[in-house]
A and B are shown apart, each in its own frame.
Chain A
Amino acid sequence: MIGLYLEKRSPLHLVPAGWKLLALALASLVLFPLRDPIVLLACLAVSLSGYALLGRQGLAALRALRALALILAFVLGLHAVLGSFQTGLLVALRLATLFLLASLITLTTRMDDMIDALRPVLRPATWVGLSERRLALAIALVIRFTPVIVDMGSRLQEAHRARSGRKGHVKLVAPLCLQALNAADHVAEALAARGGAAPELAGEPGGTGRLEGREGDADQMDTNR
């Protein structure tokens, strides 16, 4: 699974992730009350110039943002139906500017820098006993397992097509779900066999009880099956 990050050297890559996120937040505060189409066009030009700064790859990334066209078509269409086309144009300009700015941050910020910058947002998760280690493991599992489940789904689809001659069906989600759950069990077993995603590290107070905890986990897992 490939992220949207663009490996390159540019002035934008050098700006710390936290600053970029802060700038985006400020930009959204400033842009929302703006009602002058010419000022908004200028803002759009500024965010487009960010892509130009990234060179040819930046322009290619811009072309890949087809989702934006769909969003703008939706907004313009909605306003056209409601009879407020001018507002629609203003909104479309603003949304395009903000969407392009936000995507620019994603393009120029490495994923671990982004995790670091978003750490304050994650703090509430640690209050309910979710350690950073466990969160990192969860993120890694999702990124690893999404393509695996997509692959399972395509196999089910192929088998279904071979049997029935028809394309995929919603009913295939049920066996897909069962297969994913079986995979989850294997991962959980493998995790338990390796001592689990224990939040406490050896050497910490209570660290001596770790081995017992490990066996306890395995016992509990057996009774759960």
Chain B
Amino acid sequence: MTADRSLVHIAIHAAFIGALGFLPLVSLPIMGGVPITAQSLGVMLAGAMLGPVRGALAVLLFLFIVALGVPLLAGGRGGIGVFYAPSVGFLIGFPVAALVCGAMMRVLRSQPIFTATLVSSVVGGIIVLYAFGIPGIAIMAETSLPGAFAGMLAYLPGDILKAFATAAIVGAVERGRPDAILSRQ
């Protein structure tokens, strides 16, 4: 993979994360009045497909463009304001989640792709992401950690579904374009 191809793949994945926020493809049933966004699906996909470094770079590129004022976050949000919302911990956790997800894919390279992606998405996209997001809520909204955790429980089923979706999608992409799963090469 040349540096230029690598750059284009990173950019396309960043655009993919943005596009998922606009498509109602993955709008899961609304729970507790808080819509579940597909964007963390994009983060899991970036890590699982691009590997740790490129995956994290794709997410960082996405966040940088959001900070510049392009409304790429779900619901047409963007600008610096999004970094002042209680969910800022999740935004900070996004690149780390992609990094860990990609690294787990490397570790589980010899496992079947569905299992490897599922485990990587759960560890990177749920455990690591929540480890950043929940303290973020606790600090920004001045709640206790258990309180913030309780507030997040409504999202957990959706995120588990997203991990399964990531595994199914990466499996399908591997059949069509094995060369695009950079994390397993």
A interface residues with partner B (beta carbon < 8 Å): 1-5, 21, 24, 28, 65-68, 70-71, 73-75, 78-79, 81-82, 84, 87-88, 90-91, 95, 98-103, 105-107, 109, 111, 114-115, 118, 134, 137-139, 141-146, 148-150, 153-154, 157, 167-178, 180-181, 183-184, 187-188, 191-192, 196-197, 217, 220-221, 224-225
B interface residues with partner A (beta carbon < 8 Å): 1-5, 7-12, 14-16, 18-20, 22-26, 33-34, 41, 45, 49, 61-62, 64-65, 67-72, 75, 77-87, 137, 140-144, 147-148, 150-151, 161, 165, 168-169, 172-173, 176-177, 179-180
Q: Which A-chain residue is minimally distant from B42 (CB atoms)?
A: A173
Interface contacts beyond A74-B34, A82-B144, A183-B12: sample of 17 additional A-B pairs, CB < 8 Å, sorted by A: A79-B143, A95-B84, A102-B81, A106-B79, A114-B67, A139-B61, A139-B65, A146-B22, A146-B72, A149-B16, A150-B22, A169-B25, A174-B169, A181-B177, A188-B4, A188-B9, A220-B2
Other-chain contact of A78, B1, B3, B18, B141 (Cβ < 8 Å):
B141
Residue pair B173, A102 in contact (C-beta under 8 Å): no
List 23 contacting pairs A-B, 8 Å CB cutoff, sorted by A.
A4-B79, A28-B84, A75-B86, A78-B141, A79-B141, A103-B79, A105-B79, A106-B78, A107-B79, A139-B61, A139-B64, A141-B8, A141-B11, A141-B12, A148-B15, A150-B22, A153-B25, A168-B26, A173-B20, A173-B169, A192-B5, A224-B2, A224-B179
